[in-house]
Structure 1
Amino acid sequence: MREVFQQELAEVQDRLVELAELVAESIDKATRAFHKSEVSLAEEVIASDNFIDQRTVALDELAITILARQQPVARDLRIVVSALRISASLERMGDMSTHIAQLARYRFPDKVVPKSLRSTFAEMGQLDVEIARKLVELLRTEDAQLAEEIRNDDDKVDALHLVVFDKVLGETWKGQAVDTVDATLASRYHERFADHAVSIAKKVQYLVTGDWDPEKSAS
């Protein structure tokens, strides 16, 4: 019975990694669609969101089944409960990717944001992709160093998010109303994507150590 239980816990981790890989692929395609105005890539991201949702539900059902049948305790319980919370954050990250892709599709064949902001969004998108890839490895290896790197990358995304707001609210901003709305939304989607990754990183650290540091958890 114990061997079966351990196999089920391993499957939970494998499914989390698979879900994170799907999200990493989604944000990579979404940011490319956003910057290059590639509507076909945007459509792929939008279409894949339903599959991410389905895989999330399947993972949650497995975790709930384990809770009901095995009644885990201590670290095993943390693994299952953390998986439920992490899967929810990964699903939301997939949603953020979809929102970015939808902006690209809506504005096709035009670019989503004015030229003055494109380099900022390119950097923000690159950071989100790097965060997503690090998150895959974090879930696979539980390497605490990756969790810290994700936090640091999130700080950079937050700083770029502020740059966008400073520009669209500044006196020299020449964009139309639609440009202001698009830039504001896109920046928020990028920023929230990274925030969810940080939330997952905190949960993995808790899973590994059993400690929850309120100061480090503040975001």
Structure 2
Amino acid sequence: MRDGYQDDLHRLNRQLAEMADAAAEAMRRASRALLTADLPVAEQVLGADDELDARRAACEEDAYALLALQAPVAGDLRGVLAVVYCAEKVERMGDLAAHIAGTARRMHPDRVVPSELESVFTELGAETAGMADRVAELIRGGGQGGYAELRRTDETVDALHARVLATITAPQWPHDQRVAVALTLVTRFYERFADQAVSVSRRLDFAATGDLPG
């Protein structure tokens, strides 16, 4: 192994883990803005999204430089390529959190989530932010063993997503179409955020073991 390669790879993984930390914080703040109609918090999430985009670009640039200078093979190559793949997914997680915050801003001063769905969206926010936290832990810990766990959490998010859709399409739904459309979009953003986290954990597992989990 060339001198300095492992240090460079560890630095790449730190960058990626910090991106996951930022995505988790973005989701927490976006959920708070959504549930409380907190416009300043929504604006914070939207402003921070540019920074996450820049982190992704820097992460990819460093990864490509490492590929060019060190020409890693086998497991080392998987590790570098996993960073490139996962950086895109984590950046997308940040985008989805920003979409939630954008919905809160667009609906302000009204709250997006009616009282009867507050507990569901509180749980959606907690579950998805927790998935991003877990992704960061997996990156820092070598990447192996988180896929099955996050798949199970994703199933919980899917069930919450289905619960929201069932509620807003029920004949007794008391709110107008504008609210229903906003909730349809927002719950999809949560669901896609969870999917991206699962995708990251799957690629991390592959990078660590050489086997792509099914």
Matched-pair contact (CA < 8 Å) for 1:60–1:87: yes
Unaligned runs of 5+ in 1: none
Aligned residues: 214
Q: 1:3 is paired with a residue of what secondary structure?
A: coil
Matched residues, percent identical?
A: 37
The structural deviation recorded for 1:134 is 1.1
The structural deviation recorded for 1:152 is 1.2
Q: Which moved more, 1:89-98 or 1:32-41?
A: 32-41
The whole-number CA distance in structure 2 between the counterparts of 1:68 and 1:143 is 24
Indicate yes or no: 2:158 matched with 1:153: no
The whole-number CA distance in structure 2 between the counterparts of 1:63 and 1:8 is 9
Q: Which moved more, 1:88-97 or 1:32-41?
A: 32-41
| Letter paired with 2:188 | R
| Letter paired with 2:16 | L
| Letter paired with 2:119 | S
The structural deviation recorded for 1:45 is 0.4
Matched-pair contact (CA < 8 Å) for 1:138–1:147: no
The whole-number CA distance in structure 2 between the counterparts of 1:133 and 1:146 is 12
Q: CA RMSD in A?
A: 1.3
In the superposition, the TM-score normalised over structure 2's length comes to: 0.96
Q: Deviations over 1:3-39 (max 9, x none)?
A: 2222211111111111111111111111111111111
The whole-number CA distance in structure 2 between the counterparts of 1:2 and 1:36 is 53
Q: Which moved more, 1:80-89 or 1:168-177?
A: 168-177
Q: Deviations over 1:121-164 (max 9, x none)?
A: 11111111111111111111136444332221111000011111
Indicate the residue corresponding to 1:125 in structure 2: 125
The structural deviation recorded for 1:56 is 0.3
Indicate the residue corresponding to 2:9 in structure 1: 9
The structural deviation recorded for 1:74 is 0.5
The whole-number CA distance in structure 1 between the counterparts of 2:14 and 2:113 is 38
The whole-number CA distance in structure 1 between the counterparts of 2:127 and 2:71 is 39
The whole-number CA distance in structure 2 between the counterparts of 1:161 and 1:181 is 14
Matched-pair contact (CA < 8 Å) for 2:143–2:207: no
Q: Deviations over 1:95-132 (max 9, x none)?
A: 00000111111112211122222221111111111111
* 1:85-96 matches, cutoff 5 A: 85-96=85-96
The structural deviation recorded for 1:65 is 1.0
In the superposition, the TM-score normalised over structure 1's length comes to: 0.93
The whole-number CA distance in structure 2 between the counterparts of 1:149 and 1:212 is 15
The whole-number CA distance in structure 2 between the counterparts of 1:12 and 1:145 is 20
* 1:105-124 matches, cutoff 5 A: 105-124=105-124
The whole-number CA distance in structure 2 between the counterparts of 1:138 and 1:7 is 18
Matched-pair contact (CA < 8 Å) for 2:146–2:205: no
The structural deviation recorded for 1:47 is 0.2
Matched-pair contact (CA < 8 Å) for 1:93–1:196: yes
